[in-house]
Amino acid sequence: MASPVPEENARPSAGGLLNIGQVLDLLRPDFDSITIPKIRFLEDKGLIKPERTAAGYRKFSHADVERLRYVLTMQRDHYLPLRVIGDHLDALDRGLEPPPIEPVVPTVPTVALNSDGLPSPESFLRRDNLRLSRKELLKIAEISEEQLVALEEFGLLSSRSGTGHFDSDALVIAKTARELADFGLEPRHLRAFRAAADREVGLVEQAVAPLARGRDAAAVARAEDAMSQIAALSVRLHATLVKAGLRRR
């Protein structure tokens, strides 16, 4: 008895229908991670419904391929869960416009600024729980993997220890570095900013040290308040000195 032909090698049927291997060939140029098990999984979730031959082989129409392309695009570019993508497809099937795609990834956080555009003390006390994957950081900051690796190598940013995720500070640094790159400043040129920041951190910690010796809650609060105010003042001084120096040129 002859062995059954693997589904991906089955010959296409009449009427322009495609087998799963041909669908894979059509999608792979745009979605290099697509696999046959992935297509079968999306079918199991009800997002596509290819025809079946008498022998049980899947046969896909060009409409099925475009449906798959839509699902994969929504996953890759908008991080939409399959449940939401299913709602979109249902709307399209009924001749409706799918709901607008809401941002599902964090944007650059708004930093509290003074009227002169410089960070306020409150901005140094800001804490958030933002956690970005490496892929999300690359997408939102609009930088390449090569640029991110360079920023890490020169100590300008890093992921959170033990988690591999990046926080809002890393996001702002990455985005700012990308904007500076438009002026020809590469990550290696930004080491001076890292060194200057480390010196300023040392000065702030030295000034706050006497207040931080107390162990009660009030002492901790006073130390944090002083730290935020000194940090804001140091940034103001630094920015004004740079501005004044450029005006003297």
Does residue 77 sit in the same domain as residue 139?
no
In a domain, residue 194? The reply is yes
Average pLDDT over residues 229-246: 86
Window from 57-71, 86-100, 134-148, 216-230 with minimum mean pLDDT: 216-230
* pLDDT at res. 27: 95
pLDDT, tens digit (0-9, with 9 covering 90-100), for 167-225: 888 888 998 999 898 888 899 999 998 998 889 889 888 888 887 776 677 777 788 88
Window from 76-85, 109-118, 197-206, 211-220 with minimum mean pLDDT: 109-118
The residue among 77, 93, 109 that closes a domain is 93
* Dist. CA 237–CA 161, nearest whole Å: 32
* pLDDT at res. 118: 75
In a domain, residue 138? The reply is yes
- Is the pTM higher than 0.85? The answer reads no
The residue among 74, 93, 112 that closes a domain is 93
In a domain, residue 2? The reply is no
CB of 190 closer than 8 Å to CB of 177: yes
Amino acid identity, residue 91? A
Average pLDDT over residues 150-158: 93
Q: Is the dihedral of CA 146, 152, 153, 156 positive or negative?
A: positive
In a domain, residue 112? The reply is no
In a domain, residue 104? The reply is no
Average pLDDT over residues 23-45: 91
pLDDT tier, 12 (very low <50, low <70, confident <90, very high otherwise)? very low
Q: Which domain holds residue 73?
A: 7-93
pLDDT at 147 over 80: yes
Average pLDDT over residues 140-161: 90
Does residue 217 sit in the same domain as residue 129?
yes
Quote the number of domains for the chain.
Answer: 2
In a domain, residue 49? The reply is yes
